[in-house]
Copies of this chain bind each other. A is one copy, B any other.
Amino acid sequence: MTPDAVILRALRGSGDAGASGADLAQRLGISRAAVWARIEELRRVGYDIEASPHRGYLLRGAPDVLHADDLMARLEPGGVIGRDIRVFHETASTNDIADRLARDGVAEGIVILAESQTQGRGRLGRRWDSPAGRGLWMSVLLRPSLHPSAATQLTVLAAVACVRAIERQVPLRPDIKWPNDLMFGTRKCGGILLEMSAELDHIRHVVLGLGLDVNVTASEFPAALRPIATSLQAQLGRRVDRAALAASVIGELDRAYRALGSGGFPALADEWEERCATLGRRVTIRMGARELTGTAESIDDDGALCVRTEHGRLERVVGGDVSLAAAP
């Protein structure tokens, strides 16, 4: 952990009791003057840190920015996802950065966040708006021991982890729309984009992208999206602490990813099914030129959606555009 992460973790841990400069200096193996310099630097980027003669340093407030050290400070130590975090002020696409790192041999678990993306994208190359400071635009590099056909498991995992993280932070419960959307009713607040590099029988790496509209206000959505898009702030009526939410998402992703590695997919799938607005509903799925209509029944061991067609046949679907019929 970096010195700033150690300091922020200590300040958060000590709360009103405060953390003494001497303690911090000892923990970090640096001088008290050097601790003070780090504190000054944190203040400069917006952290409200009080220095009390008796209690030492106290964290009074954090800025609404994503700060790698602060996110690291909030995570449980020892995780895979989040063991390295990089935050960009602006980038074309966090998925592109994660992909480039993957090709350079970087280990799995690194998380890339950006305050804004100029060329954020959703599935099938669609544009994804990523306004500055309003959401979580993040990508995670993974190197799972999965067959390419089981990659859908990661979409399931990501959806469940995000819903869990949101619920931990705010009194909201989004639905999941298969395969990759987070919804409030008919409005989308987030999406998951999984991009993989693979041989026929072997995933080399996966970049799991997440776009979550956190503090986007209704008027900030492009006019065309207003009827179908929403954000956590719009649902809740107040701003949401993005840094706390980001740390929570990273922590939940890590927990779910480790569960997947030890055979935990069935439990994730059960939770996904509970939270899924698609199951039990009549759906129409467009896959290129083909269209399939039926009732969404379940997801299978690979994360594919099983749809009962009008002819009674059960079809496995791994992608495509899903439209839900009106609720019965």
> Which chain B positions have C-beta within 8 A of A198?
148, 195-196, 198
Say yes or no: is A155 at the interface (Cβ < 8 Å to chain B). Answer: yes
> Which chain B positions have C-beta within 8 A of A179?
200
Closest chain B CB from A245 CB (angstroms)? 25
How would residues 302 to 328 of chain A score, 1 for a CB under 8 Å from any chain B CB and 0 otherwise? 000000000000000011100000000
Q: How many copies of the polypeptide does the oligomer hold?
A: 2
Interface class of chain A by DSSP: mixed
Check if A288 sits within 8 Å of B145, measured CB to CB: yes
How many residues belonging to A are interface residues under a CB distance threshold of 8 Å? 26
Check if B201 sits within 8 Å of A194, measured CB to CB: no
Closest chain B CB from A299 CB (angstroms)? 13
Closest chain B CB from A234 CB (angstroms)? 28
> Which chain B positions have C-beta within 8 A of A147?
287, 318-319
User: Which partner residue on chain B sits nearest A317 by CB separation?
Assistant: B201
Say yes or no: is A31 at the interface (Cβ < 8 Å to chain B). Answer: no
Say yes or no: is A255 at the interface (Cβ < 8 Å to chain B). Answer: no
Check if A200 sits within 8 Å of B151, measured CB to CB: yes
Say yes or no: is A243 at the interface (Cβ < 8 Å to chain B). Answer: no
How would residues 160 to 192 of chain A score, 1 for a CB under 8 Å from any chain B CB and 0 otherwise? 000000000000000000010000000000000
Supposing A124-B202, A202-B319 touch, asked if A195 and B195 sit within 8 A by C-beta, the answer is no
Say yes or no: is A86 at the interface (Cβ < 8 Å to chain B). Answer: no
Other contacts beyond A124-B202, A194-B199, A197-B197: 6, CB < 8 A: A147-B287, A148-B149, A179-B200, A194-B200, A196-B198, A202-B319
